[in-house]
Structure 1
Amino acid sequence: MDDCGMARATDLFGDRWTLLILREALYGVTRFEDLRADLGIPRAALSQRLDRMVAAELLSRHPYREGASRTRHEYRMTDQGMEAVIVLVALMDWGDRYLRDDTPPIDVVDAATGEKLSIALTTEDGRVVPLQDAKMNILRRRQK
């Protein structure tokens, strides 16, 4: 198995449905049927992805019941899932810049000021480092 964090994350996030389910959860869509309807995803695929995302602690499963109907579940973002949102925002930003010819439908903004936000590499003290000034520091080589 490739030990790189990118390889491990790709194993989890590497398909379209998983990323779109996370996006919907971020938007507040948490119930199975609502996710299925919004995404047009087959039931089996949605069930499999949700089980995997719960096991990976990106989402947590919470029972609910409406009236006399059977107990169902909703899926809420965990803290770990919320931290993954930065990946979604980076993908969205890249896609908006390079894959769109029109105005994007969504901006990520500071809730207090409304100022548009962007993804950046920063040092531990918060200093922004331009990508061209960053380098990969390989701590150990992969074993073959």
Structure 2
Amino acid sequence: MEYLDQDVSNCSVGRAIGLVGDSWVLLVLREVTRGVRRFSDIQEHLGVSRSVLTDRLNGLVTQGLLEQRAYREPGARSRSEYVLTEKGRDLYPLITALRQWGDKYLADPEGPSLLTTHHDCGAPVRVRLVCDEGHVLASSDEVDRRPGPSARPRPTASATV
């Protein structure tokens, strides 16, 4: 089946964008991956409205990317903080890839605003295309694509009428 003949309604990229494609969602996830977990800290750091942040955090909890946990400082009322779940932590390469691309093409003339390094050796952290055999790919030109197990033909115009 040729790609243009394939139905894309069940595409994993499309589904992922539907979940994390909102810029506030990715920025909230960026904050939580950096250890900013409390609502007020996230709101202040991002400059996002309370209603937008509430909506995005609730969605991330509902979708299983974040877990809401109660905490209580001495003498204060109980509050919530947000912690990445495994599903949320699995998005770290995406956030790293966006940062890496942004550092290359959008950083200030003096360089990026954040450097990420491996705490054991100090080498920069970046995303690479690597096959399961360990081969590092130079570009997407080295990737073959073929229909997967849930591929189905695209409905024809006459079938949708």
Q: Same fold (TM over 0.5)?
A: yes
Structure 2 residue runs without a partner (length 5+): 1-7, 156-161
Q: Which of 75, 81, 84 is matched with 1:77 structurally?
A: 84
TM-score when normalising by structure 2: 0.82
Equivalent position of 2:69 in the other structure: 62
Q: Tell me, yes or no, if the aligned pair for 1:3 and 1:142 is still in contact at 8 Å.
A: no
TM-aligned CA deviation for residue 106 of structure 1? 1.5
Compute the RMSD of aligned alpha carbons: 1.7
Query: CA 1:65 to 1:101, structure 2 compared with 1: closer, same or farther past 3 Å?
Result: closer
Deviates most, 130-139 or 21-30: 130-139
Counterparts in 2 of 1:101 and 1:71: CA distance versus 1, 3 Å? closer
Listed one character per residue, the Cα deviations across residues 40-82 of structure 1 (whole Å, up to 9, x for unaligned) are: 1111111111111011111110011223433210001112111
With over 3 angstroms needed to count, the CA separation of the structure-2 counterparts of 1:40 and 1:101, relative to structure 1, is: closer
Counterpart in 2 of 1:93?
Answer: 100
What is the CA-CA distance between 1:118 and the residue it aligns to? Answer: 2.2
Distance 1:142 1:81, change over 3 A: farther
Is 1:33 the counterpart of 2:30 in the alignment?
no
In structure 2, C-alpha distance between the alignment counterparts of 1:84 and 1:65, rounded to whole Å: 28
- What are the equivalent positions in structure 2 for 1:1-144 lying under 5 Å apart? 2-102=9-109, 103-131=111-139, 132-139=141-148, 140-141=151-152, 143-144=154-155
The answer (yes or no) to whether the contact 1:61–1:74 under 8 Å persists in 2 is: yes
Which runs of 5 or more residues in structure 1 are unaligned?
Answer: none
Aligned residues: 144
Spell out, residue by residue over 1:89-137, the C-alpha distance to the aligned partner (whole angstroms, 9 max, x if none): 1011111111224200222222211111221111113221222211322
| The 10-residue stretch of structure 1 (5-14 or 102-111) with the greater mean CA deviation from structure 2 | 102-111
CA-CA distance at 1:36 after TM superposition: 0.6
CA 124–10 in structure 1, closer or farther in 2 if over 3 Å, else same: same
**TM-score, normalised via structure 1 length:** 0.91
Separation in 1 of the partners of 2:97 and 2:145? Answer: 19
